A = this chain, B = another copy of it.
Amino acid sequence: MNKVGIVGYGITPFTKEDAKIESALLDSTKEIFKNNPEIVQKEIDAVLVSTNNNSKYLSSVVSEMAGIQPKIAHNIESLCNSGTNSIVSAYSYIASGLADLVLISGAERYDSPGQILQWDNSRGEYKHPIFWASIFAKSYKREYSITEEDLAVVSVKNHKHAKENPNALSNKTYSIEDVLNSKKLTDDLRLLDCSRPCTGSASIILGSEEKVKKLTKEPVWISGIGQKTISAGFTKNISLNSMESTKVAGQTALKMAQKETKDIDVAEIHDAFTVCEPMALESIGFTKNGNGMNMIKELHDTNDFRINPRGGLIGTGHPLGATGIAQTVEITQQLQSNANKRQVDNSNVGLVHNMSAAATSSTVLVLEK
Contact = CB atoms under 8 A, between A and B. Distances in A.
Interface of A: 1-2, 22, 47, 52, 54-61, 63-64, 69-79, 82, 85, 88-89, 91-93, 95-98, 113-114, 117-119, 225-233, 236, 252, 356-357, 360-361
Contact of A232 (B64, B88, B356): B64
Given A60-B356, A78-B75, A91 B85 contact: no
Contacts of A113: 54, 56
A69 B228 contact: yes
Contact of A79 (B56, B98, B230, B357): B56
Contacts of A59: 78, 229
Contacts of A74: 76-78, 82, 85, 89
A64 B234 CA distance: 11
Given A64-B236, A229-B63, A57 B96 contact: no
Contacts of A229: 47, 59-60, 63, 69-73
A232 B60 contact: yes
Given A60-B232, A74-B89, 9 more contacts: A52-B56, A55-B119, A56-B79, A60-B229, A72-B85, A73-B78, A73-B229, A74-B85, A93-B96
Nearest to A53: B54
B60 A78 contact: yes
A78 B76 CA distance: 9
A119 B52 contact: no
A77 B56 contact: yes
Q: Indicate how many identical chains form the complex.
A: 2
A29 to B, nearest CB: 14
Contacts of A71: 226-229, 252
- Which 10 interchain pairs have the tightest Cβ spacing? A95-B96, A60-B232, A74-B78, A96-B96, A73-B229, A92-B92, A61-B232, A92-B96, A74-B85, A75-B77
Nearest to A71: B227
Contact of A92 (B82, B93, B252, B361): B93
Given A73-B229, A356-B60, A91 B82 contact: no
Contact of A76 (B76, B97, B226): B76
8 contacts: A63-B232, A69-B229, A71-B229, A72-B227, A74-B85, A74-B89, A88-B98, A89-B92
Contacts of A230: 69
A236 B225 CA distance: 38
Contact of A89 (B54, B89, B233, B361): B89
A52 B55 CA distance: 9
B57 A356 contact: yes
Nearest to A57: B79
Contact of A98 (B54, B95, B360, B361): B95
Contacts of A54: 54, 113
A201 to B, nearest CB: 17
A227 B230 CA distance: 32
